Amino acid sequence: MANKVLLFEDNQINSKLMSMFLEQSGYFVEMALSVDELQRKVTEGYEFVFIDVSSPSLNKDLLGDFVHKSKNSAFSKCPPMIAVLTSAKDSDIKEYLSMGIDGYVVKPISVKLLRETIEKVRTGLTTPAPGEDVIDIEKLSRTLGIPDTNLLINLFGQFFTTVQKELRQMRAAVTLKDYSALKNLAHSIKGSSRNLRLNNIGKLAEEIESQTKYPSASLDLDSIVNNLEGACQRLFNSYNANYGNKG
């Protein structure tokens, strides 16, 4: 039996086209016709979930909350999520990827485009959002004057191990509203990421450090930590796909 994918698409013509393209790519398609059905079905063993993010019933706040809860559930594994976009605006792509979406495909869609997107998401090689970090070991080797590329690969491995631990500590600090701990953890991530020329992660960490130094009543800790977590996870996926077996 073909691998299952879940498709959330509220336009009848678009849903038929997407279903046809996915079936031609070897997938059995099940539909989610409402947000409630999408939330119920997401944990039912699908290989991928395709979400039409332009649906009037699914605004960005609702989508962000759905993605965050699905990705962080302690009771079920969330499949990779692929956003179906109506435009390729840099700001939209970056916003959706920052939510934790794993990849995106832009209309008009073809079988070839779907297959390329699925393969990128499966291997962790999804095109980064505009302004996000890209790990290029060979280029960094020349920039830093470090000829041993294996050393750099191992340094990135150590960086991700440390950052994953710090992000878990950040989550605990968010729950406790421990602004001092958040500030210190963000400062640490900022320093290590910038030494490795990871400017976007450094910028996101700096934002947390700055906002927790003198926190306001309206500070949305979940949102700013989600952005950092998402950027780190996408970069780790790319690193692991490209260099995971070379260190």
Give the domain 3-123 fold. Answer: Rossmann fold (3.40.50)
Q: What are phi and psi of 30, to 5 degrees?
A: -115, 145
> How does pLDDT run across 4-34, given as a tens digit for each residue?
999 998 888 888 999 999 999 889 999 998 8
> How does pLDDT run across 80-133, given as a tens digit for each residue?
999 999 887 888 888 888 788 888 998 888 889 899 889 888 876 666 667 788
Q: Within a 10 A sphere around the Cβ of 37, how many other Cβ atoms?
A: 14
Q: Which residue has the higher pLDDT, 75 or 82?
A: 82
Position 4 scores a pLDDT of 93
Position 159 scores a pLDDT of 96
Q: If you average pLDDT over residues 131-149, what whole number do you get?
A: 90
* This prediction's pTM: 0.63
Please state, in angstroms and rounded to a whole number, the distance separating the CA atoms of residues 222 and 224: 6
Position 1 scores a pLDDT of 41
* Residue 139 neighbours by CB under 8 Å, 6+ apart: none
The encoded tokens of residue 58 equal 């699914």
Please state, in angstroms and rounded to a whole number, the distance separating the CA atoms of residues 102 and 96: 9
Position 243 scores a pLDDT of 86
Contact (Cβ atoms closer than 8 angstroms) between residue 9 and residue 15: yes
DSSP for 109-141, please give it.
Answer: P-HHHHHHHHHHHHHT-PPPPTT-----HHHHH
Q: If you average pLDDT over residues 134-157, what whole number do you get?
A: 92
Q: What are phi and psi of 163, to 5 degrees?
A: -65, -40
Position 128 scores a pLDDT of 66
Give the domain 137-243 fold. Answer: Four Helix Bundle (Hemerythrin (Met), subunit A) (1.20.120)
| Domain ranges within the chain, ordered by starting residue | 3-123, 137-243
